[in-house]
Amino acid sequence: MTSHVTTSIEPSGIRWQSILPIVAVLALAGLGLVSSDYIVTVLGFAFIYAIFCTGLNFFMGYTGQASFGQSAFAAIGGYGSAILCTDYGWEPLLALLATMVLSGIAAVLVGYPTLRLRGHYLAMATFALGLIVYEITIEWTALTQGYMGYSGIPPLGIAGFALDTLKHQLVALVVLSLIGVGIAARLRQSRFGRALASIAGSESAAQALGVDIARYKLIAFVIAALYASAAGSLFAHFVGFISPEIYGTTMVIQSFAMLYLGGIGTMWGPMIGAIIVSILPEALRGLKEMQDIAYTAVLIFILIFAPRGLAGLSVLFRRAHGRVQEKA
């Protein structure tokens, strides 16, 4: 199986290419802060999804595995935060961290048997996982209030200090998503990240090099679950309301559209994809009803014609740039 992972290791030292996306993100966030609440909401969703996709990218892009059920962990995060905060009066930030721990444990328990699977079976098993949690959120009404959903979830905050306005929350989401990308980038360049890349390249070769494949896959899966859980919690706090559909199959497809559009296996791809896919339907107003159809159409188009996404363009650019440098 071929992988999308570029095995080249980024040279150390800060280059303008690595600063540029941060500047762009901050500029976009700044633009959002002077706009209407509606645009702030759209951008907020974009950055929540950016966190979700960065985690998914860790497992799919870097490690070359597949999980079609990450929405399960977002649901654990979202419902965990909702229940802990509204019914038990927990601090939102504490609830977010507690549900992340819960999702991590769930990921270990589920991942240990599941990740031994390959190909279609891995895909179907993880897909089943997402569906199981989805069905539970609908049917276990005593816990989740079923289709009614949970409302009145407090905004993010700690120790009486709450982010009351949408704009404050947007700032927090931008900071958190940048931290998320930063952690993922650091992990990617570590010994651990290189081991994951070797698994993506060839499992048997990685094994021959002494990489404990099962363990590394599991850790990557858990990291992806932690990101998904955090994104789920943040969604609950940002919107103040959750229902089963939010963490359904649409979330899976939407996040894949973002991941593949931005460029799977790249550092900034997930965030770029999340921002573009979130803004696109808002830009094309008439699309509202057709949103899901547009997502799936975009996803299928990219999968067929540009499986490397927009980040593939930057590789082309870098290659050209490198050639110029060689000549000079």
Partner 1 sequence: MPSLVEFLQSIVNGVGVGLIYGLVGIGFCVIYNASGIVNFAQGVFVMLGGMVCEVLLTQLGIPLIFAVALTIPLVAVSGIVMELAIVRPMMHRGATLFAVILATLAAQIMIERITLLTFGDRPRTYHEFTTGGPLKIGDVAIGYQLFWILGCGALLVLLLWLFFTRTRTGRALRACSQNREAAQLLGIPVARMMLIAFALSAALGAIAGILVTPTQYTAYNVGTPFGVNGFIAAIIGGFGRAGGALAGGLLLGVLQALAIVALGAGFKNVAALSFLLVVLLFFPNGLFAGFGKGAKAH
- Point out which residues bind partner 1 (CB under 8 A): 1-4, 60, 66, 68, 113-114, 116-121, 123-125, 127-129, 131-132, 135-136, 138-139, 249-250, 252-253, 256-257, 260, 289-290, 292-293, 295-297, 299-300, 303-304, 307
Q: Which is nearer to partner 1, 21 or 146 (CB)?
A: 146
Q: Which is nearer to partner 1, 253 or 315 (CB)?
A: 253
Torsion of the alpha carbons at 33, 173, 261 and 30, rounded to the nearest 10: 20
| Cβ proximity of 309 and 261 under 8 Å | yes
DSSP assignments along 200-262, one per residue: HH-HHHHHHTT--HHHHHHHHHHHHHHHHHHHHHHHHHHHSEE-GGGGSHHHHHHHHHHHHHH
Q: Which is nearer to partner 1, 118 or 321 (CB)?
A: 118
The bridge status of strand 161-162 relative to strand 241-242 is unpaired
| Nearest distance in Å: CB 131, partner 1 | 6
Q: Which is nearer to partner 1, 72 or 173 (CB)?
A: 72
Q: Which is nearer to partner 1, 139 or 212 (CB)?
A: 139
- What is the C-alpha to C-alpha distance for residues 231 and 296, in angstroms, rounded to an integer? 22
| Nearest distance in Å: CB 117, partner 1 | 6
Phi, psi (degrees; rounded to nearest 5) at 69: -130, 25
| Nearest distance in Å: CB 92, partner 1 | 30
| Cβ proximity of 65 and 8 under 8 Å | no
